[in-house]
Amino acid sequence: MKNLIIMLFVTIVCATASFAQVIKSLQAYSDGSNIILRWNTEDETNVKEFIIERRAGTIGTFNRIANLNPKGASLYEYIDQTAFKSTASIYQYKIKIKFTSEIADQDVGPVTVSHSVNSVKRTWGSIKAMFR
């Protein structure tokens, strides 16, 4: 019985350690042209990559828009320069954390951002994209 209790305790401690919080804070805001995501990490042990996902509105599936490699505990910033292409004014973002080991992926978010872009910028951005 004593061994069973010890094994249970060790299992709980190991499970808690493997689900340690990687991202301390996640923020997103619009600067009028782009949407900026910022997050702080604390412990990036076994982190393979951060996958940034976005959806227009608050309903529907998230789509992958970028991958970032970990660089150690630090401040990350991602600038979404493609949000102007949509006529949506509300976006939600989340970050999926992929691990190198058998730890399950971890989702952080969503965070919601209100973003208004005038039609001139949207049209000009589309014209520039044709010539890239």
Nearest to 90 by CA among 113, 111, 63: 113
Nearest 5 degrees, angle CA 105-CA 109-CA 113? 145
Domain for residue 6, yes or no? no
Lowest mean pLDDT among 46-55, 63-72, 77-86: 77-86
Number of domains in the chain: 1
Domain for residue 85, yes or no? yes
Half-sphere exposure of 77 (CA within 13 A, CB side): 6
What is the tens place of the pLDDT at every residue in 16-65? 444 468 888 999 999 888 899 999 998 899 999 999 999 999 999 999 99
43: containing domain: 22-130
Domain for residue 16, yes or no? no
Domain for residue 41, yes or no? yes
Domain for residue 1, yes or no? no
pTM here is 0.72
Q: Could you give the C-alpha distances from 74 to 30, 38, 43, 89, 101, in angstroms and in order?
A: 22, 11, 9, 30, 21
Tokens 């999926």 correspond to what residue?
96
Q: What is the CATH number of the domain that holds 119?
A: 2.60.40.10
Q: How confident is the model at residue 89 (pLDDT cuts 50, 70, 90)?
A: confident
Per-chain mean pLDDT for the chain: 79
Strand partners, 37: 28, 78
